[in-house]
Amino acid sequence: MRPAAPTPYARGGVGHSSRVVGYELRQRLGRGGMSVVDLARDPAGRPVALKRVVLHGSAFGLAQARQRVHREAEALARLDHPAIVPLLDVIDDGDEIVLVMPYLAGGTLADHVRTRGPLSPGQVEHLADTLLAGLAAAHREGIVHRDIKPANVLFDREGRAHLADFGVASIRDATSGLTATGSPIGTPEFMAPEQARGEPATPASDVFSLGATLLYAATGQPPYGRCDPRVALQRAAQGRLAPLPRELDGSLRRRLAPMLHRNPRRRPTAAAAAGGPTGTIVAARGPSRRSAALLPAIGAGTLAAVACLGAIAAGVWYLRSHRVAFAGPDATASPAASTPLTAPCTPKPYQPCGAPAAPNTDGSRCLGEHADYDADPTNGCEAAPDTIDGQPLTSSLSANLVPGADVDRYPVPVQDRFQLLCDGTFQVTLAGPAGAAARLELYDGSELLGAKVSRDGSPVTVSVPEPSCLADDSTELTAQVSWDGDARSAAPYRLTRTGSF
């Protein structure tokens, strides 16, 4: 496609001067439901992407939106991370906002999967490490993306991945909280359940959407299955996720399953999912320019006094820590005072000072997918995982849900036997552990056939009638068992199948 002739790009509108900025439009890169993206050149001749977003609302609402956009632009400008596409400028242009970002020529993750197929497990692991690190940095700045999807993962010429469009969802949401079509902000196929229900997006929502994006990178499938966006939105609101494909790499399965948990409180933070510290809290700001400017005004005498006080305090600490008695001019240290004290012991959650680590722990956390369900640190992580997950359900089986985010899936072969009245029925029954609630879901591919919750051991049954009288209805379904609620138990559940088509 031949690029369009260069067009000068004028800057003006509310909150800006009327000077002309030398952005020259080169060609149209793409168009979405709420925006268009153009390739342009900045005054230095560098390629940039100009994303034009339409705002909706009253004149008063638009004015408020612009104020909010520019406040958020200041926060976005602080995002300095190699895995995040930076926001270079924000331009008012009538009823539209134009975002200026660097142009990345490597295409999107959506393009890559569509044209070349899913990534290898190693490539997805590397992609996860890169993007989770960038997302954790954004969350520490108090910024939530709200619309992570494969189209917002961009690659540069060297193949490095970057998260793009931070703040775009917030800008579209600036007036009424809805797009022009009245749907929740985000993309249904990759949206967290709480977002689909209209609840405010949180960092946990971003973690879900990134997990959904990584699942797409690995399999080419979104978490709610391939369907109409309206159906995907309904499934998202109900938390009806399709089972993770059986062929998904085991390491990726263990990494993505917690990120895709229906309950946002059960998802790891971005930093934890990346293997870093769990506390992706909003970072505290350093001293302001005003306070920093006051530092040179402190006189040398004041600094000397502070240093003197510091030396006195250090001396007192040393004498006390080495047990030296203040007994007057002839004071002497006790025999023990001549030997420095050893560093004080800090007890760990599963390892008191002077004691070995509790079973199945390293002193600080559970190991080997064990879990601590009884909250008793003396017996460590007493809940042990089973090895039943993934085995065919041919009659009945017993298994447990360990660790806490465990989701068990079983292939269920179903035969079509002759039924004179075409009234064949297939059933799966779940009796969950006492003291907790377990959820049974039965799938045909990505289609949810039914779901029931077993509470405190009471059995529940999901029944499926024979689909057809004339055709052979033999198939393989998937039974999925997961927790429903926060209570946990290491006791086994029992899964039983009966009937046929």
pLDDT 10s digits, 29-64: 877 656 788 899 888 888 999 888 777 677 777 777
Distance CA 424, CA 501 (A): 4
Q: Catalytic residues, which ones?
A: 147
DSSP three-state, residue 423: coil
CA distance readout (Å), 9 to 30, 89, 115, 392 = 18, 13, 34, 63
Q: Is 138 in the same domain as 269?
A: yes
Q: Where is pLDDT greater, at 17 or 205?
A: 205
In a domain, 295, yes or no: no
pLDDT digits (tens, 9 = 90+) for 345-391: 778 888 887 788 889 888 888 888 889 998 888 889 999 988 888 88
Q: Is 120 in the same domain as 261?
A: yes
Overall domain count for the chain: 3
Place of tokens 């510091």: 310
Q: What is the domain extent for residue 366?
A: 346-384
pLDDT digits (tens, 9 = 90+) for 304-332: 333 333 443 444 343 333 333 333 333 33
Pairing state of beta strands 89-93 and 96-102?
A: antiparallel
Q: Is 243 in the same domain as 372?
A: no
Q: How confident is the model at residue 79 (pLDDT cuts 50, 70, 90)?
A: confident
CATH number at residue 217: 1.10.510.10
In a domain, 17, yes or no: yes
Name the domain boundary from 337, 354, 384: 384
Q: Is 211 in the same domain as 351?
A: no
Q: Is 201 in the same domain as 54?
A: yes
Q: Is 29 in the same domain as 151?
A: yes
In a domain, 35, yes or no: yes
Paired tokens of 348: 């760990």
Query: How many C-alpha atoms does 371 have within 13 Å on its Cβ side?
Result: 17
In a domain, 391, yes or no: no
Distance CA 381, CA 359 (A): 6
In a domain, 340, yes or no: no
Pairing state of beta strands 493-500 and 425-431?
A: antiparallel
Q: Is 367 in the same domain as 444?
A: no
Q: Is 361 in the same domain as 434?
A: no
- Check pLDDT > 60 for residue 1: no
In a domain, 338, yes or no: no
As a whole-number percent, the residues of the chain with pLDDT over 70 amount to: 74
- Check pLDDT > 90 for residue 279: no
Name the domain boundary from 333, 358, 384: 384
Q: Is 174 in the same domain as 234?
A: yes
Q: What is the mean pLDDT of residues 80-108?
A: 85
Give the torsion sign (CA, 317, 319, 325, 330).
negative
Identify which of 263, 483, 479, 456 has the alpha carbon closest to the alpha carbon of residue 383. Answer: 483
Q: Is 108 in the same domain as 219?
A: yes
Q: How confident is the model at residue 141 (pLDDT cuts 50, 70, 90)?
A: confident
Distance CA 458, CA 408 (A): 19
In a domain, 214, yes or no: yes
Q: Where is pLDDT greater, at 246 or 171?
A: 246
Q: Is 208 in the same domain as 77?
A: yes
In a domain, 114, yes or no: yes
Distance CA 390, CA 261 (A): 19
Q: Is 45 in the same domain as 194?
A: yes
Name the domain boundary from 273, 299, 329: 273
Distance CA 380, CA 408 (A): 24
